Every structure is written in structure tokens, then in C-alpha cells.
Amino acid sequence: MEELYTLEKEVGRGSYGVVFEGHIAKTGQKVAIKRLPCSKPECIELYLQEIWAMRATAKNHVNVIALHSCLLQTGPRTLKPLTAGKLPGQLVESVLKGSVAKASPPHQRNHSQSCVRRRSTSVSGLQDRTNTMQTGAKLQDKVDPNWPDVSTPKRPQNRGRKRSMQRHEDPPAPLYCVALWLVMEYCDGGDLNHFLLSRLPDNQNNHAVVRQLCSAVAFLHSLGITHRDLKPDNVLVCVTSKGPVVKVADFGLSKMSPGVSEGELTRQHFSSTCGSDFYMAPEVWGGLTYTAQADIFSLGAMFWAVLERITFVEEGTTQEQLGAYVWKGRSGRLVPLGEALWENAELHLSIPIKFRRAPPLPPPPGPATCTLLLDMLAADPDARPTATQLEARVSCALEEDSH
């Protein structure tokens, strides 16, 4: 292995893995290194989907995170690079059989020098802490037009944050494939939540984010990739002298349909209920089959939150997050858009929101942008623009409203 990597510190921890800041030893280039423990077959399936999708993008779009290399860990100090264009057979076998491969006897293991070196200052404990949460099932039947005037609303108790395909299981037996390591480009601006909410409202930045995300999703859909979990947490930001460059990341829930056109992609149906509740389309909430148009709804929820700086606080935390929602009655319960629209497809969404939350607020989106947001958030997937149509319409809408 020609490239050696050094882990510096942990910079993120999600439902499936841990992300570290690191460097390529030979060049000193900063990279992000993600460790994905191969402990459950359903998790391994998500990892393989992520690798396959990231290889398909092949560093060909500036707004999609680039994968530099992928390593397979087979022992405490044994890593090897994955062959380009192929997936590790033992992991594919684990997915197909529904059980992980057990470790080889100690005398058969290869204890060669690891490709990843850890400095004494790096964090300890690389075990993944899998966070499986459940979403609430109550739906909204109407929206009170007199939304309360609050600063940053808190999310109600006992409401889940993410639906995924992950299942609770007993701890598995020791593994032959201990973990996968993905080496990716490093983004110094953090995720979209951190980047935008740590700064004063800036229409120029907001519009740049919207345009770039449209371009990224149009590119992914052109390759037959449906992301299925678009949200601010999964959008990373690189800070440059010319402004923010956003990168769509985390393809663990993505689905690939190679060789299809965008029109065919909007007709190809998926059935797994997955995603994050504040961005899930109504058809996903309802447990129906759905298409790539679910990604367009997710973008609409994100764009509305970005353009009007709509935030909430996750229960049990103090961290604001970007997310659009509706209120249920005067009790002030936050309801994700998709959930509300699944219950009432005729629900009227007020864009822009008329009340003040927490100054300073950005200028409200103009009429053309509001119309576009409503189209993206349509309850009927076929009424939403496709990714290609969206890219053109966003540019037209922002230009029209700027005049």
C-alpha cells in the first residue's frame, strides 16, 4: 500500500460509523477517514451501497464528496486496499447469508503493518455506537393558521429523528472483516447546519447552497443514484475565498439503478422506509412505494429551511438544526412536512412564513421561489419537478426574484 494515513482526532459520529480527521503521510494532505464496523449484515449492506455509489460518482462533480480510497480491515493491525470496481466477497456473502463471517484462528491471521497509523494524541475507542431511533406515528389533520411566535422551537419528546433499515440484534460473533475504512476529501466548514447557523443570515450564501445542491442531485439522478437521505447533516461544506462549496455525502441509504435515464428513474419504485423524518416525502411516511422524486421533496424541505432560516432544537440537545415543519394546533407540536401531507394532501403551506422567530432573519424568498418550493413539496410525487427541471427552474426563480 503506497499511501499511509495518520488519524488525528474524531470529528463526527453517526448511526453507523465514526469519522476522523487524518492526513496522507507522504503528502500531508488532510483527509476525512470514516470507520464502518462490519458487525451486522444489514449494516454491511448499507456500507457496500455507499462504496458503490461513491465509486460511481468517480470524483466527477464538485458538489459530491470524493472518495480517495477504501480499505478493508481483517485484523487488529491488518488492512488492505479494495480492488477498484469490485466489492469484498466475504462482505457480499455476509449480506446474502444474513450473517457475518467468523474470525479465522489466530495462527492464520496476517499481522502485517497497518496502513493506518494512530498518533498518541488521537482519540481512543473506535467502536461504533449505533444509534437506532424510532419515529412517532401520529399524523396531523390540519394546521392552525395562527402559528405561535417562538424563537427556536424545541422538538417534542418521544419523537424519533431517523427511520432506517437497521434492526436491533444481539451482539455478533467475532468477525473476519472487522471494519471498512473510507478515505474521503476533508471539508473544513462542517455540515450545512453548522456552516449556516454559525453565521449571520446571508442571502448570497443561501442561494449558492440551493444552486449547488440542485446541481449535485441532478448529477446523481443522471447516474441512476437516488440518495434517499438528503438533509443538512449529510451536506458538508468547504470554505473557499469565493464562497461555500457544498458536498452531498453519506450514501449509505442510496440506491443505484445503473443504465437508466432520469425519466426511467422517476418511474422506478423503492419500498424500504428510510430517511430522516423532517425531510421524508409523504409517500415514504405512508409506507408506499416511491421513486427518486422523494429526493426532490427532501430538497424542498431543506431549501425552505435554508432560505427562511427555519430551525428546531432536537430533544435532549441544545443544538439548533435547519428543518421545515408545521405546527399541530395550539399545542405547538412540531410535525414534519411529509407526515402532515401524508395525512392531508390538501394541506396549505404558507411560504414564506409570516411570523418572526429569532432576528435577524434573511429576506423572505420572492414569489417565483415560493412557487417553486410549493411545487417541490407537492404531496403528489408526479407534480414535483425532476432533478433536471429543478436545476433550470432554481436559476430562473432566483434571477427573477432578484429583480
Kindly list the catalytic residues. 229
Cα separation, 354 vs 339, whole angstroms: 22
**DSSP 8-state symbol, 64:** B
Cα separation, 101 vs 322, whole angstroms: 40
For residues 182-212, one letter each, b for 16 or more C-beta atoms within 10 angstroms of the residue's C-beta and e for the rest, the string is: bbbbbbebebbbbbbbeeebeeebbbbbbbb
Cα separation, 160 vs 350, whole angstroms: 25
**DSSP 8-state symbol, 74:** E
For residues 366-389, one letter each, b for 16 or more C-beta atoms within 10 angstroms of the residue's C-beta and e for the rest, the string is: bebbbebbebbbbbebeebbbbbe
Identify which of 35, 39, 19, 46 has the alpha carbon closest to the alpha carbon of residue 228: 46
**DSSP 8-state symbol, 16:** S
Cα separation, 37 vs 91, whole angstroms: 12
C-alpha cell at 34: 470514516
C-alpha cell at 58: 468517480
For residues 246-261, one letter each, b for 16 or more C-beta atoms within 10 angstroms of the residue's C-beta and e for the rest, the string is: bbbbbbbbbbbeeebe
Please check whether residue 18 is in contact with residue 10, taking contact to mean a CB–CB distance below 8 angstroms: yes
34 labelled ligand-binding: yes
**Annotated binding residues:** 34
Cite the annotated binding site for ATP by residue number. Answer: 34
